[in-house]
Amino acid sequence: MMVHNIPAALFRAFPDRPVIVRAAAGGQLRAAFGAEIPDGVAFVQLTALTGDLAPLADWGDGLAVDLVMADPEAELPLLYRCTPLLARHPVRVTIPWLPGLARAVKLAVSLGFAVRLVGSQPSAATVEEARQALDMFLHNPTVAQPVEPFHGLLIAFLHQTPVDLWDLLERDPAQIRVLDERGEPLSDQGPESLSGFRESLRAAAAECCACPWLASCGGYFKWPRIDFACDGVKRLFADLDAAAAELRQSLAAYAAERDGSGDGV
């Protein structure tokens, strides 16, 4: 089912459900919803970490909240002021592929937030930061929240099941459409159609055609510029694949040991 991401100002005039409702401050969401959380609200997005959070901190138990960072470097300290939301809401921080990503992911998970990385075509330095964040996600035993796309890709690689990065990062235009203040689709959110986009990659004989990660990536990093060089993100996929293989081996060794010791009892 298609989910529309709409500004809070459109909520009452927009009959289609489900919706993701976004606003710069919690008060705008409370004003749009009324006393109760209406049916069909998938989750809410706060688009400014500086906005007033108090109206959500004491209302709406269980309503999922997505905090959208615009600049992970500059906004890092603002994460602390968002922690009161965790008492009533499952809260995720959406972090763009920009400088400051590694520290933002580390602080977000240590404060108890889930994380989603968004955007595309990161610089080489930002990919290295993403690899540091992945290393922390894989090896820090205190990490209790999912960090996407690491979590979804790791599970899929571990169990060798299909996964689609567009879907994992909520960027599939067949599933989520982001509308502007006039109710028109925002044009900078991704290709209009994934099948059409993939066809254009094939037609252009893009790097994806020979990429070992095409099945899970789906050409995600080739939007908007098809000439983006994927060396860095391919290493990220390889890191995840190696971690999944190591985990699979450990699980198999554990099962063999458990079954072996069971024989002797």
Task: Answer yes or no whether residue 131 interacts with ligand SF4 by CB under 6 A.
Answer: no
For the record, the structure tokens of 206 come out as 């893009």
Question: Hey, how many other C-beta atoms are within 10 angstroms of the C-beta on 214?
Answer: 15
- By beta-carbon proximity to ligand SF4, the closer residue of 102 and 217 is 217
Helices (H) and strands (E) in the chain, counts: 10, 8
Q: Fill in the per-residue mask, 227 to 256: x = in contact with ligand SF4 (CB under 6 A), - = not in contact.
A: ---x--xx----------------------
- Is the bond preceding 18 in cis, omega lying within 30 degrees of 0? yes
Query: Minimum distance between the CB of residue 229 and ligand SF4, rounded to whole angstroms?
Result: 9
Show the 3-state SS of 225-247.
CCCCCCHHHHHHHHHHHHHHHHH
User: Which string of DSSP letters, residue by residue, matches 13-59?
Assistant: G---SSEEEEESSHHHHHHHH-SSPPTTEEEEEE--TTS--HHHHTS
According to DSSP, the β-strands at 176-178 and 147-148 are unpaired
Task: Answer yes or no whether residue 66 interacts with ligand SF4 by CB under 6 A.
Answer: no
Determine the Cα–Cα distance for residues 102 and 128; give it in Å rounded to an integer. 9
Given the rule CB under 6 A, which of 94-102, 107-115, 137-145, 217-225 is the region that contacts ligand SF4? 217-225
Given the rule CB under 6 A, which of 85-93, 148-156, 171-179, 218-226 is the region that contacts ligand SF4? 218-226
Given the rule CB under 6 A, which of 80-88, 170-178, 187-195, 215-223 is the region that contacts ligand SF4? 215-223
* DSSP conformation class of 133: H
Task: Answer yes or no whether residue 150 interacts with ligand SF4 by CB under 6 A.
Answer: no
Q: Fill in the per-residue mask, 192 to 211: x = in contact with ligand SF4 (CB under 6 A), - = not in contact.
A: ---------------xx--x
Query: Minimum distance between the CB of residue 232 and ligand SF4, rounded to whole angstroms?
Result: 9
Task: Answer yes or no whether residue 213 interacts with ligand SF4 by CB under 6 A.
Answer: yes
Residues at the interface with ligand SF4 (CB under 6 A) = 207-208, 211, 213-214, 217, 219-222, 230, 233-234
